[in-house]
């Protein structure tokens, strides 16, 4: 059920441990607003709309969860759990059986989920999650390799002073040293002209992995479980260095806005899905009082 066109063999990834070149990336530690850091999501927020970035990263305004988001969280949780099992147990029926327990755990931790997916809709919700798991097993045989790490938390400062953090869905490492970074997507695969956000995310993870471990990932793979299709990227040193400079420019813009408190709205078709329209000047709203530049 694996993809024969993969640039790196599925069965070669046996989960060996890389030699770590150090977890402190930058030689200097310039002052920065405490708590602020770039993740793929926050970087995309700022590029989409600086005011949206402020609302999420600085004001930390609450936003309602969506069924699609929660579905992705559940499927990610099951896949993370499954990859920790012995190889012979990593079967589709066994993974499906973990949907209900994982969903119960999530509901126990967040009462809002019971309102988002009421009991009479739970069956259909879990069936949709089961379909996504089926898509995963059609794309990959998890019995053929051991993941090096799932839900890998990364936090570092790049050499140009940009603080970065995030979670990588999965990292695979072959005995011969090849590294693959994998990200699961539970939504539709975007057409090429709308795929830049996903590509940005994978380049971000490749850059941070390289700066943390001194090894550029050999393959970046986005797995679109809903349509059983993948996007593969092979990053180069030159590409990641250029991307790093772009992140540096973006971070300086964020710091400038944080110092002045002026985060300008940027309207687009995406405004229709924004939870904060009532607070946006572009729609006649008034943002909450700026809490000030986060303390140093």
Each residue's pLDDT tens digit, 191-220: 877 789 999 999 999 999 999 999 999 999
- Alpha-helical runs (H) found in 214-279: 237-260
177 by DSSP, 3-state: which?
coil
Q: Could you read off the pLDDT of 64-89 as tens digits, one per residue?
A: 999 999 999 999 999 999 999 999 99
Nearest to 31 by CA among 280, 207, 295: 295
- Residue 19 CB-density burial (10 A; 0-12 exposed, 13-18 middle, 19+ buried): exposed
Angle between helices 237-260 and 196-213 (to 10 degrees): 100
Helix count and strand count (H, E) for the chain: 9, 5
Residue 27 has pLDDT above 80, yes or no: no
Q: What is the pLDDT of residue 34?
A: 56
pLDDT > 70: percent of the chain? 88
Between CA 226 and CA 185 the distance in angstroms is 8
The answer to whether residues 147 and 170 touch, using CB atoms and an 8 Å cutoff, is yes
Instruction: Break the chain into its structural domains and give their ranges.
Output: 10-26+38-245
- Residue 164 CB-density burial (10 A; 0-12 exposed, 13-18 middle, 19+ buried): buried
State which fold the 10-26+38-245 domain adopts.
Lambda Exonuclease; Chain A (3.90.320)
pTM attached to this predicted model: 0.85
The answer to whether residues 279 and 63 touch, using CB atoms and an 8 Å cutoff, is no
Q: Could you read off the pLDDT of 116-165 as tens digits, one per residue?
A: 999 999 999 999 999 999 999 999 999 999 999 999 999 999 999 999 99
Tokens standing for 30?
A: 């310039």
Q: Which of 19-28, 36-45, 162-171, 228-237 has the lowest mean pLDDT?
A: 19-28
Q: Which residue has the higher pLDDT, 127 or 3?
A: 127
Q: What is the pLDDT of residue 13?
A: 46
What region, left, alpha or beta, does residue 254 occupy, with left being phi > 0 and alpha being psi -120 to 50 degrees? alpha
């Amino acid at each position: 059920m694996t993809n024969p066109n993969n640039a790196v063999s599925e069965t070669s990834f046996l989960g060996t441990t890389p030699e770590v070149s150090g977890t402190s990336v930058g030689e200097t530690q310039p002052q920065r607003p405490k708590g602020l850091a770039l993740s793929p999501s926050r970087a995309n927020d700022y590029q989409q709309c600086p005011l949206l970035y402020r609302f999420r990263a600085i004001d930390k305004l609450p936003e309602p969860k969506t069924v699609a988001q929660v579905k992705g969280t559940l499927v990610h949780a099951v896949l993370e759990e499954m990859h920790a099992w012995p190889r012979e147990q990593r079967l589709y029926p066994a993974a499906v059986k973990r949907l209900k327990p994982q969903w119960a755990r999530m509901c126990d931790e967040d009462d809002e989920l019971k309102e988002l997916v009421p009991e009479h809709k739970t069956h259909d919700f879990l069936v949709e999650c089961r379909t996504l798991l089926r898509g995963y097993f059609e794309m990959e045989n998890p019995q053929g390799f051991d993941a090096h790490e799932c839900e890998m938390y990364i936090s570092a400062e790049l050499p140009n002073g940009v603080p970065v953090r995030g979670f990588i869905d999965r990292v695979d490492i072959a005995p011969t040293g090849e590294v693959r970074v994998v990200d699961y997507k539970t939504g539709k695969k975007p057409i090429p002209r709308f795929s830049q956000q996903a590509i940005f995310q994978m380049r971000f993870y490749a850059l941070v992995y390289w700066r943390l471990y001194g090894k550029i990932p050999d393959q970046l793979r986005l797995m679109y479980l809903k349509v059983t299709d993948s996007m593969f990227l092979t990053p180069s040193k030159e590409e990641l260095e250029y991307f790093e400079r772009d992140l540096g420019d973006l971070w300086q813009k964020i710091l400038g806005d944080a110092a002045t408190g002026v985060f300008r709205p940027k309207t687009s078709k995406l405004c229709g899905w924004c939870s904060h329209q009532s607070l946006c000047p572009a729609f006649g709203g008034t943002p909450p009082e700026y809490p000030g530049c986060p303390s140093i």
